[in-house]
């Protein structure tokens, strides 16, 4: 008897513990139930020689607001949603410079620029709007990169859901009360950890060596011509910095030139007496740090055998004028020779080539063009670029506006032809003769599909160097592509110079919740309470009579009367 009771007691206890466990598990259930979930990309956060720049925070948990904000309103717990089309740069600039306390910014970029957008056609009749947008994005980017912003700044692409949210928020704001806990509205939530410093970011240089024809008995080392392009980018939103023009166009041109010359060199009869050295360098926006390290790592003899180097930088959106930038004076014999060969080919192609000279200031650490790093190592080099003026630090390095629509495949094709023909003229000694080696329609023609598919790939790959790991698939792709054309490919890993420090967390997901105000909940509680009380009284009256209801409240006094 006692044993049975004991067993029953144990069973009951185990049942209770199971129930408790179930309750605890159930309490932990949390489903994602947001009205809208959006991919957002964070503004870059970096330190330049210890000075902080960019957005210093990542996590967000505030109410949504919109422009124009009421003067004197407390916005420290509000995230302002601004579509870039309607942005007022002076207002933003004032906000930032005055250090106004804000919950955060959510900047909405036009849908056209989204990487998922497949409409690449360049519409000529709307180029005016595109120019305006381009300038606006450029100014916005420069403002944000060079400011120290103590709250999160995120970029997102406009779509229907976010537009409806923004319209709602604008409507609510128009009534005068900014959103907060007591008035309801939308709540934006990005739950991430705090951004951490990236320790020892690596930059990777890829070099490919195409040897020339060494005749028997020729003891001298063959001269080398180097073709170099930097492949990494820097922009306000590192997860969106695809840099189609700066410098995706240069990378694509380099790959196509490598392909063409590897075809020429595959047959010993057509192999030239020059070695070709192709270099894909990283660290471009940071004063061409990678190029400097790559040159230093090169064998002394190899470096001295380089006749000249052609650096490709932004050759994707020019019409009929392109520039060659040099640091040696134009009267230099080598420079004259290079420039003339380019001029001849340009005449045949019907385009104009100009020469720009910029002296190197050795004391100034700023390296504006890649050829300057070569010049500092005593190698003759030129840069071919559509830009006529040297860009400042962190300018023209692949920003928000540098997406696939702003690059023209025909411009890249033309540049490839220009460089390849002038190289061939130099290598095979055809100066002055009207011979077209890479003629259209021949087996050595520049392949537009190759160029287009590589441009598409580059326009989908953000390539900010500190966020590219050593064995990033993109770097491996470049290496594989070069090794398809050229036998000897080497990859070199270096650490980025100490001047720049980067922080992680470049993209996140934003949850937008529609919340009701606290007053709504209190009101509902009041209504429900009165409903239940009414129901109770109604039921008591109908089933037991009104006297019973009154007696519920009078019971204590009546008892006292009775006992007395």
Partner 1 sequence: MTVFHFFNCAILTFGPHAVYYSATPLSEYDTLGTSVKAALVYLGTALIKLVCIATFLKVPENDNFDPYQELLKALIGFIDVAGLYFALTQLTHRNISQNHKFQAVGLGWAFADSVLHRLAPLWVGARGLEFTYEYILQGLEANANLVFTVSLAGLVSLMWLRKNKPKTLIPIIYVCAGILATMPSITSYLRRETFCLETAVQWWKVKPIFFTRGFSVECNCIAEGSPSSQCRMLNASKQTLSIHIQISNCRF
State in angstroms the smallest separation of the CB of 545 from partner 1: 8
Contact status: 70 vs partner 1 (CB under 8 A)? no
Q: According to CB under 8 A, which one of 520, 530, 555, 559 is a site residue for partner 1?
A: 520
State in angstroms the smallest separation of the CB of 33 from partner 1: 4
Q: Which is nearer to partner 1, 70 or 525 (CB)?
A: 525
Dihedral of CA atoms 22, 27, 31, 32 in degrees, nearest 10, equals -160
- Number of residues near partner 1 (by CB under 8 A): 34
Residues 187-246 close enough to bind partner 1 by CB under 8 A: 187, 189
Q: According to CB under 8 A, which one of 132, 516, 546, 550 is a site residue for partner 1?
A: 516
Residues 20-49 close enough to bind partner 1 by CB under 8 A: 26, 29-31, 33-35
State in angstroms the smallest separation of the CB of 184 from partner 1: 5
Contact status: 517 vs partner 1 (CB under 8 A)? yes
Neighbours of 150 (CB within 10 A): 12
What's the CA gap between 394 and 481, in Å, rounded?
29
Beta-carbon contacts of 69 under 8 Å, excluding residues fewer than 6 positions away, are: 75, 78, 80, 173, 178
Q: Which is nearer to partner 1, 19 or 525 (CB)?
A: 525
List the strands of the sheet with 224-230, edge to edge. 352-357, 321-326, 381-385, 306-313, 224-230, 275-281, 202-210, 488-495
Contact status: 536 vs partner 1 (CB under 8 A)? yes
Q: According to CB under 8 A, which one of 543, 557, 558, 563 is a site residue for partner 1?
A: 543
Contact status: 19 vs partner 1 (CB under 8 A)? no
- Stretch near partner 1 under the rule CB under 8 A, chosen from 138-146, 193-201, 392-400, 527-535: 527-535
Contact status: 528 vs partner 1 (CB under 8 A)? yes
Task: Report which DSSP code applies to 247.
Answer: I
What's the CA gap between 407 and 458, in Å, rounded?
11
Q: Which is nearer to partner 1, 183 or 192 (CB)?
A: 183
Residues 139-158 close enough to bind partner 1 by CB under 8 A: none
What's the CA gap between 176 and 183, in Å, rounded?
11
Task: Please give the span between the terminal C-alpha atoms of the chain, in angstroms, as a whole number.
Answer: 51
Beta-carbon contacts of 409 under 8 Å, excluding residues fewer than 6 positions away, are: 448, 451, 452, 455
Task: Compose the 167-186 pattern: x for residues touching partner 1 by CB under 8 A, - for all others.
Answer: --------------x-xx--
- Stretch near partner 1 under the rule CB under 8 A, chosen from 238-246, 290-298, 334-342, 523-531: 523-531
Q: Which is nearer to partner 1, 67 or 540 (CB)?
A: 540
State in angstroms the smallest separation of the CB of 508 from partner 1: 17
State in angstroms the smallest separation of the CB of 56 from partner 1: 26
- CA-to-CA separations, 429 to 68, 273, 306, in angstroms, rounded: 67, 10, 17
H or E stretch including 563? helix 546-563
Q: According to CB under 8 A, which one of 524, 546, 547, 554 is a site residue for partner 1?
A: 524
Cα Dmax for the chain: 136
What's the CA gap between 470 and 459, in Å, rounded?
21
Neighbours of 82 (CB within 10 A): 18
- Residue 229 φ then ψ, to 5°: -150, 145
State in angstroms the smallest separation of the CB of 18 from partner 1: 18
Half-sphere exposure of 483 (CA within 13 A, CB side): 11
Binding residues for partner 1, rule: CB under 8 A, are 26, 29-31, 33-35, 181, 183-184, 187, 189, 513-518, 520-521, 524-525, 528, 531-532, 535-540, 542-544
């Amino acid at each position: 008897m006692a044993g049975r009771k004991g067993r029953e007691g144990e069973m009951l206890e185990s049942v209770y513990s199971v129930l408790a466990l179930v309750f605890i598990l159930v309490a932990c259930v949390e489903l994602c139930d947001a009205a809208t979930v959006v991919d957002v990309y964070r503004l870059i956060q970096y330190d330049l020689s210890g000075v902080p720049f960019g957005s210093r925070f990542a996590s967000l948990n505030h109410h949504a607001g919109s422009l124009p904000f009421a003067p004197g309103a407390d916005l420290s717990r509000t995230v302002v949603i601004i579509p870039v089309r309607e942005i007022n740069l002076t207002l933003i600039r004032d906000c930032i410079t005055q250090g106004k306390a804000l919950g955060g910014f959510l900047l909405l970029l036009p849908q056209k620029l989204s990487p998922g957008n497949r409409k690449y056609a360049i519409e000529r009749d709307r180029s005016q709007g595109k120019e305006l947008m381009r300038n606006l994005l450029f100014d916005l980017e420069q403002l944000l990169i060079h400011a120290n912003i103590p709250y999160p700044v995120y970029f997102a692409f406009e779509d229907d859901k976010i537009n409806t949210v923004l319209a709602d928020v604008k409507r609510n704001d128009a009534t005068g009360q900014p959103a907060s806990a007591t008035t309801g509205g939308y709540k934006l939530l990005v739950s991430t950890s705090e951004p951490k410093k990236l320790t020892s970011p690596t930059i990777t240089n890829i070099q490919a060596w195409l040897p020339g024809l060494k005749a028997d008995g020729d003891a001298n080392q063959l001269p080398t011509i180097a073709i170099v392009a930097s492949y990494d980018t820097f922009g306000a939103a590192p997860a969106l910095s695809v840099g189609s023009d700066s410098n995706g166009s240069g990378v694509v041109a380099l790959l196509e030139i490598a392909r063409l010359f590897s075809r020429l060199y595959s047959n010993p009869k057509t192999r030239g007496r020059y070695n070709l050295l192709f270099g894909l360098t990283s660290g471009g926006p940071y004063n061409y740090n990678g190029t400097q390290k790559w040159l230093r790592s090169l064998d002394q003899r190899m470096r001295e055998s380089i006749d000249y180097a052609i650096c490709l930088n932004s050759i994707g959106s020019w019409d009929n004028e392109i520039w060659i930038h040099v640091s040696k004076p134009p009267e230099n014999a080598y420079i004259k020779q290079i420039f003339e060969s380019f001029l001849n080919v340009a005449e045949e192609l019907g385009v104009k080539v100009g020469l720009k000279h910029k002296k190197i200031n050795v004391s100034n650490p700023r390296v504006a063009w890649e050829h300057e790093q070569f010049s500092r190592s005593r190698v003759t080099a030129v840069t071919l670029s559509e830009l006529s003026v040297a860009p400042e630090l962190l300018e023209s390095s692949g920003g928000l506006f540098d997406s696939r629509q702003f690059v023209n495949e025909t411009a890249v094709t033309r540049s490839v032809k220009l460089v390849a023909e002038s190289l061939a003229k130099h290598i095979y000694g055809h100066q002055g003769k009207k011979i077209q080696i890479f003629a259209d329609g021949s087996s050595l023609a520049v392949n537009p599909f190759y160029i287009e598919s590589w441009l598409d790939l580059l326009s989908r790959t953000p390539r900010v160097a500190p966020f590219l790991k050593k064995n990033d698939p993109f770097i491996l792709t470049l290496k594989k592509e070069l090794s398809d054309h050229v036998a000897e490919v080497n990859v070199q890993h270096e650490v980025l110079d100490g001047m720049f420090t980067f922080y992680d967390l470049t993209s996140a997901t934003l949850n937008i919740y529609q919340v009701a105000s606290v007053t709504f909940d209190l009101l509902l509680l009041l209504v429900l309470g009165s409903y239940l009380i009414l129901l109770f009284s109604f039921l008591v009256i109908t089933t037991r009579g009104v006297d019973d209801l009154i007696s519920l409240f009078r019971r204590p006094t009546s008892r006292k009367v009775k006992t007395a």
